[in-house]
Amino acid sequence: MANGPVGVGIIGAGNISDQYLKHLTKFPDLRVLAIGDLLEDRAKAQADAYDVPHAGGIDLVLEHPDIDIVVNITIPAAHVEVSEAIIDNGKHVWSEKPIGVDRESSLGLLEKADAAGLRVGVAPDTVLGPGVQTAKRAIARGDIGRPLFAQTSFQWQGPELFHPNPGFLYARGGGPLLDMGPYYVSALIHFFGPVASVAALGLKATESRRVLTGPQTGDEFPVEIPSTVSVLMEFEEGGQAQSLYSFDSPLFRHGVVEITGTEGTLVIPDPNTFGGSIRITRPLLEAVVPPAPIVQEVVDVPQEGVMVGRGLGVLDMARSIRENRPHVATGRFGYHVLDTLLSIEESVESHAFTPVTSTIDDVGALAADFDPFAATL
């Protein structure tokens, strides 16, 4: 790679591409050079909106000589195929989550990238944001004592409330587990380390649902996966978590992540955002005798780092490649998350605790002074 900004291409100009384009086009260390999509008009419209010089089909991106990293924001079922094409063309990959929809092809991708000396990075990069990274530092320095367990909740009525093409979110590779689980499981792995085993129950409220917005409003589509999943997790280095993932709940209660240690309960911002309020509730040190009110000490943990949005992981990967150090959101991390989620699905089927066979040696962290808007390359 030459000096100066790293050339970036994008494949997939759908719903989430705005969030990527908004940020990737603002980082001085990156230059977005081309956008491709199966639907070329979609790519062209996004290129016009964000002043990206080239747009068209995916070959345009794959073959562009000045692009070093390609961001794959296609649908989950296409992730591995598109990521492999990127590697085959000698470029590094940043893939939206999940890395793939099955273990075999996802591992194959990682092996192909290793053999070619190319990197794979996998979303979510929300967990690289100031929210999760500040909480991670607080836990590591002992702010809540020894971490014991976590509770997370993601429950609402489902993504057809906003998404004009929600079918893929109820197909294999989607569902509340595969679609939203990556945010919660990735945050938990940052706090507790790799997952050892899982147990889960799941259900489907209905066999089909309807599109609620956009040109296909009213169209029916099948529900192929459990639309509600309750999970227990055990971590290799100790610690437990219980999590709810549901697209069936009229009560919206999402973004809940609470980590309890021997000296406090830490509440972090929604792991599908980059930051927010981080607070620790301290234990009561004396008995509370009724009718005395329960008054608990709650302390704020000041959030460290610059708030940005999607694209942060691509930037960390670009800088890491140039500086010859590991990036944080690695393909192996993304694979361990997928392996955990598939083990949860298998536990739903078997009604048994299921070991998670993959692991990761080292979960990286983003430095508190990481400045996305500095020109460093």
Ligand X SMILES: NC(=O)c1ccc[n+]([C@@H]2O[C@H](COP(=O)([O-])OP(=O)(O)OC[C@H]3O[C@@H](n4cnc5c(N)ncnc54)[C@H](O)[C@@H]3O)[C@@H](O)[C@H]2O)c1
Give buried/exposed letters for 132-157 (b at 16+ CB in 10 A, else e): bbbbbebbeeebbeebebbbbbbbbe
Q: Is 82 in the site for ligand X (CB under 6 A)?
A: yes
How far apart, in Å, are the Cα atoms of 299 and each of 43, 259, 263, 281?
A: 47, 14, 12, 7
Beta bridge partners of 300: 279
Nearer to ligand X, 11 or 69 (CB): 11
Told to check if 45 binds ligand X by CB under 6 A, we report: no
Task: Candidates 6, 8, 10, 13: give the one binding ligand X (CB under 6 A).
Answer: 13
Closer by beta carbon to ligand X, 46 or else 347:
46
Nearer to ligand X, 62 or 118 (CB): 62
| CB of 239 vs ligand X, minimal distance in Å | 27
| C-alpha closest to that of 171 among 78, 47, 307 | 78
Instruction: Kindly tell me which residue out of 55, 70, 83, 96 binds ligand X, with binding defined by CB under 6 A.
Output: 96
- Examine residue 37 and tell whether it contacts ligand X (CB under 6 A): yes
Q: Are 302 and 138 in contact (CB under 8 A)?
A: no
Task: Compute the distance between CA of residue 37 and CA of residue 60 in angstroms, rounded to an integer.
Answer: 10
Given candidates 42, 112, 137, 204, which one binds ligand X under the rule CB under 6 A? 42
- Interface residue with ligand X among 8, 33, 34, 58 (CB under 6 A) is 58
The radius of gyration of the chain from alpha carbons, rounded to an integer in Å, stands at: 21
Report CA torsion sign: 87, 91, 92, 97: negative
Interacting residues with ligand X between 148 and 187 (CB under 6 A): 165, 179
Give the whole-angstrom CA distance, residue 209 versus residue 211.
Answer: 7
Burial class (CB within 10 angstroms; exposed 0-12, middle 13-18, buried 19+) of 105 = middle
- Of all residues in the shown chain, the one whose CB is closest to ligand X is 14
Nearest approach, Cβ of 171 to ligand X (angstroms)?
A: 11
Question: Following CA atoms 59, 63, 67, 68 in sequence, which dihedral angle do they give, to the nearest 10 degrees?
Answer: 100
Q: Does 259 bind ligand X (CB under 6 A)?
A: no
Q: Does 11 bind ligand X (CB under 6 A)?
A: yes
Among residues 1, 2, 4, 15, the one that binds ligand X under rule CB under 6 A: 15
Q: Output 103 or 279, the one with its CB closest to ligand X.
A: 103
308 binds ligand X (CB under 6 A): no
What's the min distance (Å) between Cβ of 337 and ligand X?
13
Q: Which two tokens stand for residue 99?
A: 């890395």
Q: Is 12 in the site for ligand X (CB under 6 A)?
A: yes
CB of 344 to ligand X, least distance (A): 17
Among 39, 284, 367, 368, contact with ligand X (rule: CB under 6 A): 39
Contact with ligand X (CB under 6 A) among 22, 26, 38, 358: 38
- Judged by CB under 6 A, which of 78, 127, 328, 341 binds ligand X? 78
b/e map of 346-374 (b: 16 or more CB within 10 Å)? ebbeeeeebebebebeebbebeeebebee
Residue 115: which residues within 8 A CB-CB, separation 6 or more? none
User: Which strand (E) or helix (H) includes residue 155?
Assistant: strand 147-155
Nearer to ligand X, 14 or 194 (CB): 14
The Cα 372–Cα 272 span in angstroms is 19
Smallest separation (angstroms) from ligand X to the CB of 280: 29
Number of residues in contact with ligand X, rule: CB under 6 A? 22
Which residues here bind ligand X, judged by CB under 6 A?
11-17, 37-39, 42, 58, 73-76, 78, 82, 96-97, 165, 179
